[in-house]
Amino acid sequence: MCRKRYNLAGDFNDGLAKVELNRKYGYIDTTGREICPIKYDRCFDFSDGLALVKLNGKYGFIDKTGREIIPCKYDWANNFKDGLAVSKLNCKYGFIDKTGREICPCKYDWFEDFSDGLAVVKLNGKYGCIDKTGREICPCKYDWANDFKDGFARVILNGKYGCVNKVGKDVIPCIFEEIIIDRIRNTINFRIKDNGKWGYMNQLGDMVLPCFFDGMWYINETLIYGAYNNRAVIFNIEGEIVSYGNI
- In our burial notation (b when 16+ CB lie closer than 10 A, e otherwise), range 143-179 reads eebbebeebbbbbbbeebbbbbbbeeeebbebebeeb
Phi, psi of 196 (to 5 degrees): 80, 5
- Per the model's pLDDT, the better-predicted residue between 49 and 4 turns out to be 49
The residue count for the chain: 247
In 3-state terms, what secondary structure has residue 222? Answer: coil
Check whether 3 has a pLDDT greater than 70: no
Q: How crowded is residue 119: how many other Cβ atoms within 10 Å of its Cβ?
A: 25
Among 189, 159, 191, smallest CA distance to 174 is for 159
Judged against a pLDDT cut of 50, whether residue 236 lies above it is answered with yes
Query: What is the percentage of the chain residues whose pLDDT exceeds 70?
Result: 98
One-letter amino acid identity for 211? C
Tell me the β-bridge partners of 68: 62
Question: What is the radius of gyration, based on Cα positions, of the chain?
Answer: 25
The pLDDT, as a whole number, for residue 4 is 55
Alpha carbon 101 to its chain centroid, in Å, reads: 21
- For the stretch 171-212, pLDDT in tens is 999 999 999 999 887 889 999 999 999 999 999 999 999 999
145-156 average pLDDT score: 96
What's this model's pTM, rounded to 2 decimal places? 0.85
Reported as half-sphere exposure (CB side, CA atoms, 13 A), residue 227 has a value of: 10
**pLDDT above 80 for 247:** no
* pLDDT tens column, 15-69: 999 999 999 999 999 999 999 999 999 999 999 999 999 999 999 999 999 999 9
Q: Is 2 helix (H, G, I), strand (E, B) or coil?
A: helix
Coil, strand or helix at 3:
helix
Task: Report the range of poorest mean pLDDT among 39-43, 62-66, 110-114, 228-232.
Answer: 228-232
8 A C-beta contact, residue 221 and residue 210: no
Q: What is the pLDDT of residue 244?
A: 80
Alpha carbon distance 158, 78 (integer Å): 32
Please, what is the average pLDDT of the chain?
A: 93
Distances (CA, A) of 223 to 15, 43, 141, 237, 240: 52, 52, 36, 6, 10
195 by Cβ neighbours in 10 Å (0-12 / 13-18 / 19+) ranks as: exposed
Averaged pLDDT for residues 65-93: 96
Residues 67 and 61: their CA atoms lie apart, in Å, by 9
